[in-house]
Structure 1
Amino acid sequence: MLNETKPQVWRALVVFTDGSEMLLYLGRSSAQVRAGYQAAFQELLDDDERSRVQTIQMQRWHGTPDAGHWITQATLSIPLVKLAKTAS
């Protein structure tokens, strides 16, 4: 049971070029989502998935916990892909 009367739930949602979607990160504030989505992008998506990302949306839940919908608040930058270090 939530103790807050108006919980703030935010998420980063990946939208792929084929229109499919994937939850990337869930947080209690927009600042928390902005701080964590880039690491989640690197950890959760493989190379093929990263290459097919069209956009990353930051969304906020609007409504009661059992009756509401997600509202897009911002478009987040797609993180640069970190290159793996090769043995020399």
Structure 2
Amino acid sequence: MTKYVSVVCSGQVRVLSVNEAGPNPPTPVANGSNVFWQPVGGPTNVFDATLSVFDASLLVTELTSTGEVWQGVCTSTLPLTVPCTFTQMPTPPNT
């Protein structure tokens, strides 16, 4: 079992793959001996982000500081396959 955790660092989204199986879950997936927060791509002025899993894909939705919304589709693997493929979504209404 795999889950993903995201953070916004300096305007970019990074995702950590976490292994939920094994003797000591949850275990962050490492690249060698270093925990590996992977940059998933997309805009460089991200303000907020959400994650969801659909079939074999991880969906990364990014909201930029200028109000644009982008959705990235990544292959859901352990560790995550990056970069994701991003598409700009319609601009949300100002409410």
What's the TM-score, normalizing by structure 2?
0.36
More strand by share: 2
More helix by share: 1
Q: Which has the higher contact order (CA 8 A, sep 6+)?
A: 1
Which has the larger Rg? 1
